[in-house]
Chains A and B, each alone.
Chain A
Amino acid sequence: MPTPATTPSLHPLETFAPFRRWRPSPLRNLVYTFVWNGIVGGALACAAVLFGSRAPFGALLGEMLLASNIIGFLIHAMVHVLRRVAPGRNGPAMRTARLLMTACCATVGMAGTEALLGGRSAFGFLPQMELLARYLPGAVVVSLLMVAVLAAGERRIAREVEAARQQERIAEAARLLAEAKLRTLQAQIEPHFLYNTLANVVSLIGPEPARARHMLERLIDFLRASLSASRAEHATLGSEIDLACAWLDLLGVRMGARLRWRVDVATDCRDVVIPPMLIQPLVENAVMHGIEPKVDGGTIVVRARRVDTGLCVEVADDGIGLVPAAPRPGGGVGLSNLRERLRSLHGNSAQVQLLENQDGGVTSRLLLPV
């Protein structure tokens, strides 16, 4: 039978919803026991009146409250000791022990009460079998009551834990789905890029066949890498940089002298495992929004290094800078997608920042935990 990993310190009073508001603590449990004793004592007194007791109600109530408090605190102490002796255990043996000891506490408690009220020594009563027999039915009733109440509480907690787990599973599934969707979105190959690249290949086949072949090979590299990136959950910084290089190579052929680029990645970074398709959108943004709109073109620098918090990847351009540019097909959504992905992957420990360079142009910086 599955039990919650951590046995909650369940108090019978927690059967009533308002009492679940306060977090468990030794003091709270003591107060709860006192309240619980009061409720049980009151209920017993009422029951005695209903079943025809002729004693005055005040005396009856006092007697019942005394008895329920003695029994209740005995049980409280017993449970406390049991938890100390065998912390976290809640198997059948433990349950049986608790049942038997609850019965003992009830018997002792009843005897004690009678002794106190009669003004005699409590211990003098215990050895007398006929008196014990008188208390036994009461003790059994008390034990069964306690077991029933505690079992109901445990079932309730198990249900709550299960519901919480279910919620967690749903949230996790939703997160994975969102991440997969965003990743696929980012690995999508822009039709403009594909057709323009192919148009360049076609135009080069006649005059420069070797260059046309190189371009096709790089396109294949790029397609292979982006297709696998849309399926994989992990990549290495090295493979992501290679993907970006293949893309930059293609753009370099297409744009001719207008695009220059270089990569500056510390060698100890290449094996770092990172989520795929995080760097590519930054490189594409730098070319599409920085270099391409600039008549004279410019330079892209991709840098990566380890920092205290993990990995820092920067894509810097000396392009046109930020102008309220007309949205380009396929552009625009890149950065917000990236942010959303980082949030679902790393919470607040990953960041993407945009910085304005002193000499014009923009640097986008990706900070990832390692």
Chain B
Amino acid sequence: MTDRGADIEPIRALLADDEPHLLAYLEELLASAWPDLRIVGRAGNGIEALRLVDELAPDVVFLDIQMPGLNGLDLAARLADERKAPRVVFTTAHDVYALQAYEHAAFDYLLKPIRLERLQRTVGRLKDALAAPASASAPSAEMLAGLLRQLGVAPAAAPAPAPAPLQWIRAAQGQETRLIAIDEVIYFQSNDKYTSVFVADGEHLIRTPMRQLREQLDPQQFWQIHRSVIVAARHVAGTRTDFRGRLLVKLKGRDEQLVVSRNYADLFRQM
């Protein structure tokens, strides 16, 4: 009611999808569902989309969720706390969780292949929402933030998370660099110069020292049991005490047993 001028100005939209045919098809559908809509930009990836939103300040953004660079959910999270956040309509092929989330908060959520009738409904709701007083549109950003929390996406303002735990280990092997997923590792054992990484089908040598490894590993999944040994918790079969009174860790499906030094024996006290 306060700003009648908005009704005369055409609504401006940005489309983002990494699959070119789908982008073209969405544009074609919008042309018939909402002839007055002005499509001001098209983005093939999340980063481009973010740039175009900042540059063009569209009223509506149609966002694919899976995009290179920055995915639709992360992108929406960044837009959510901007002062004049656009309405976000997600488009995706299949996502049960997002569907559930949409029922609580998202402005709209379209399943691909997109149907014209379904898009017409969205367009109708969008027109109503955009024509409503500006104050009514304010909660939209909050709703979106709620949706994103539900999807497990941290709001953009959240502090940077702790450095991600180590996921891959690079081990030189002749001319090649082998990549070992952290889940494959059974235990690490340090020698004078190298650290041995034991996996189901062998042993690899890396140069990362024990101390550095310990800092990069998730302490819930990897336990240091000796100054020179870190073992993956899920490969531990149990413990036993040998005739000299030392505590030994038994491993699943392997013969060797690892000595637990006195300083780390507390780890197993409750087991």
Contact = CB atoms under 8 A, between A and B. Distances in A.
Interface in A221-266: 253-256, 258
Contacts of B180: 354
Contact of B111 (A195, A322, A324, A343): A195
Contacts of A202: 25, 113
A351 B201 contact: yes
Interface residues of A, number: 38
Contacts of A353: 178
A203 B22 contact: yes
Nearest to A292: B68
Interface stretch (A19-27, A110-118, A165-173, A328-336): A328-336
Nearest to A348: B201
Most buried by B among A198, A203, A255: A203
Interface size class of B (residues with CB under 8 A): 35 or more
A329 B95 contact: yes
A316 interface: no
Given A192-B94, A199-B93, A295-B69, A253 B21 contact: yes
Interface stretch (B133-141, B163-171, B190-198): B163-171
Contact of A199 (B69, B113, B179, B184): B113
B219 interface: no
22 contacts: A191-B94, A195-B113, A196-B93, A196-B112, A199-B19, A199-B22, A199-B25, A203-B113, A254-B19, A256-B20, A293-B69, A295-B44, A295-B45, A295-B47, A295-B48, A295-B68, A322-B168, A336-B181, A339-B200, A343-B200, A348-B201, A356-B170
Interface of B: 18-22, 24-25, 28, 44-45, 47-48, 66, 68-69, 71, 93-95, 111-114, 164, 167-168, 170, 176-181, 183-184, 200-201
| Complex A-B, nearest 4 residue pairs according to Cβ-Cβ distance, in ascending order | A203-B25, A195-B93, A199-B113, A199-B112
Interface of A: 191-192, 194-196, 198-200, 202-204, 206-207, 253-256, 258, 292-295, 322, 324, 326, 328-329, 335-336, 339, 343, 348, 351, 353-356, 362
